[in-house]
Amino acid sequence: MLFLLAGAIVAGAPVDPVRADTELTALAPEISPPDEDEMERLIRGEILRKRVESDGSKGAAVLQVMMFTDAQAVWEIIVSCQQAMIYVDGLEVCEVLDDQRHYTRTHQIVDRGWPSPRLDYVFEADRQPHLFMVFRLVEGNLKEMQGFWRFDQLDDGLLVSHAVSIRPKTPAPRWLVRRIMMRGMTDLLTCIRGLAEGSGTEQQRDSDLASCPGDAESTVVP
């Protein structure tokens, strides 16, 4: 597996919404911190691909990005279905089925067009707002989907780590899976950075928003 997830999260039922925050934080995913060279690249605005793999129809990636904003601003983007229509390529339907502080369940339909298979699924997430979110497949036409978001406030900015592993039931070309993991996930993170006002400079924000697959024009302040 590309990333470490606490066994209680991978296998378990939703986290009890009344669980103390300190208990839930113990379930946060682990990821190796960037080294000195990686940190310099992150500060320059690069999306760091910690690992990208494709095996048949299965794709997996671990990426990191530095954002010059606070965790709340980024969190509000990634939990919003309205914003997801902008940063998720091919997203046609997004509806929140259950929304609690430490747990959420969401239905999405993604159709990127041929040759990508149309995906219709429900996923659930255990989360500690502004710190981390761990998600997994509940049902749908996927064999596998799991991953996490993690936020670490550093002196240089907000380090956002994102990991995902996905395998559709309908076979997809390996080249397509790798392209989505490489280019698609990079565009997703740069788009989110722009939407969250975390690009650092106006020029970088324009570049970040240009990577959004959806219409980001309404987010641009004249």
pLDDT tens for 61-75 read 999 999 999 999 999
Structure tokens belonging to residue 105: 């369940």
Residues in the chain: 222
Residue type (1 letter), 81: C
Helix (H) or strand (E) holding 195: helix 185-195
Torsion-angle region of 177 (φ positive above 0: left; ψ -120 to 50: alpha; else: beta): alpha
What percent of the chain clears pLDDT 70, i.e. is strictly above it?
Answer: 83
Per-residue pLDDT of 174-186, as tens digits, reads: 766 777 778 889 9
Q: What is the dihedral of CA 25, 78, 174, 62, to 10 degrees?
A: -40
pLDDT at 21 over 50: no
pLDDT of residue 6: 32
Number of neighbours of residue 135 by Cβ within 10 angstroms: 20
Lowest model confidence (mean pLDDT) among 130-144, 147-161, 165-179: 165-179
